[in-house]
């Protein structure tokens, strides 16, 4: 690791203030290009401590870089993760303020809610499937507190894996024989189809994302708890979000989830 605890806290404070003010900060890796994944998580932990200390709470986790093209872009062979905070969860059909984010984009993805806890290491994909109680159509607003999205791996990890907010469709209980890999999705902005995808885009199987998260977090003594949300990763390339936009993701089996963006 290339960062001290004090330096991690300084960087976390800068990101915390960027979230509060809407003014992005230069990439952390500009000052120290050697920052790696472990350094990013060290900053992330300090940032989460600041946010929860101010009254927010962790209600789940998101996985990022779950597709092969995104992993190739960042030169890694594994996803990354960040917390989902209670203050960032919206219901289906919600309107988000047009100026609530810095440089937002929107992604459609499959979201799970756990019915039983999972703690790694050693969690299998089959065990992850059995732990899922509900499945939801989801929209993630990804946002970067780093200037102009000039992010390297350590930057996005430190910045809560670039998580901005999530919009959740109604929960669905799927039959045991439903293959979530094959759930298809059509994504529209302002009535125009802009992307399509399927569950298999997320690490080959969204349930594999749950198992991966349980095992990685388990190495740090963290358990995925019953009731927590698991965002399994984008099914397509992110689409820019602008004031006044209306986004709709239509999923096979899961129904529709809609996001309205307020005027600036």
Residue length of the chain: 264
For residue 156, what pLDDT is reported?
93
What integer pLDDT is reported at residue 264 of this predicted model?
67
Q: How many CB atoms lie within 10 A of CB 166?
A: 26
Q: Which run of H or of E encompasses 185?
A: strand 184-189
Q: Rounded distance, CA 56 to CA 48, Å?
A: 9
Query: Is the CB of residue 63 less than 8 Å from the CB of residue 157?
Result: no
Domains in the chain: boundaries: 58-261
pLDDT score recorded for residue 76: 64
Half-sphere exposure of 233 (CA within 13 A, CB side): 29
Q: According to the model, what pLDDT value does residue 179 have?
A: 96
**Predicted local distance difference test score (pLDDT) of residue 67:** 73
What is the rounded distance in angstroms from the CA atom of residue 21 to the CA atom of residue 173?
A: 40
Is the entire prediction scored with pTM above 0.85?
yes
Query: CATH assignment of 58-261, given 3.40.630.10, 3.90.850.10, 3.40.30.10, 3.40.50.1110?
Result: 3.90.850.10
pLDDT of residue 70: 66
Question: What's the Rg (C-alpha) of the chain?
Answer: 17
Task: State the 10-residue block means of pLDDT for the chain, 264 residues long.
Answer: 91 97 96 93 97 98 80 72 97 92 96 97 96 98 95 94 97 95 98 97 95 94 97 94 97 98 86
């Amino acid at each position: 690791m290339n960062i001290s605890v004090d330096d991690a806290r300084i960087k976390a404070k800068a990101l915390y203030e960027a979230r509060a003010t809407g003014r992005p900060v230069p990439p952390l890796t500009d000052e120290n290009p050697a920052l790696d994944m472990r350094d990013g998580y060290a900053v992330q932990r300090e940032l989460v401590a600041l946010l929860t200390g101010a009254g927010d709470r962790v209600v789940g986790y998101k996985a990022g870089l779950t597709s092969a093209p995104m992993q190739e872009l960042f030169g890694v062979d594994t996803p990354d993760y960040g917390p989902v905070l209670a203050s960032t969860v919206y219901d289906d059909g919600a309107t988000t303020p047009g100026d609530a984010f810095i440089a937002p984009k929107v992604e459609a993805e499959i979201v799970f809610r756990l019915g039983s806890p999972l703690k790694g290491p050693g969690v299998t994909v089959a065990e992850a499937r059995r732990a899922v109680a509900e499945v939801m159509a989801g929209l993630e607003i990804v946002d970067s507190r780093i200037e102009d999205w000039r992010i390297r791996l350590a930057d996005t990890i430190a910045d809560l894996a670039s998580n901005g907010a999530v919009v959740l469709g109604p929960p669905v209980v799927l039959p045991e024989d439903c293959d979530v890999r094959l759930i298809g999705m059509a994504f529209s902005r302002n009535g125009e189809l802009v992307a399509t995808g399927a569950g298999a885009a997320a690490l080959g199987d969204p349930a594999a994302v749950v198992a991966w998260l349980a095992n990685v977090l388990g190495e740090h003594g963290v358990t995925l708890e019953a009731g927590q949300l698991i965002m399994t990763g984008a099914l397509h390339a992110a689409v820019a979000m602008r004031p006044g936009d209306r986004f709709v993701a239509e999923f096979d089996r899961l129904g529709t989830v809609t996001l309205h963006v307020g005027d600036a």
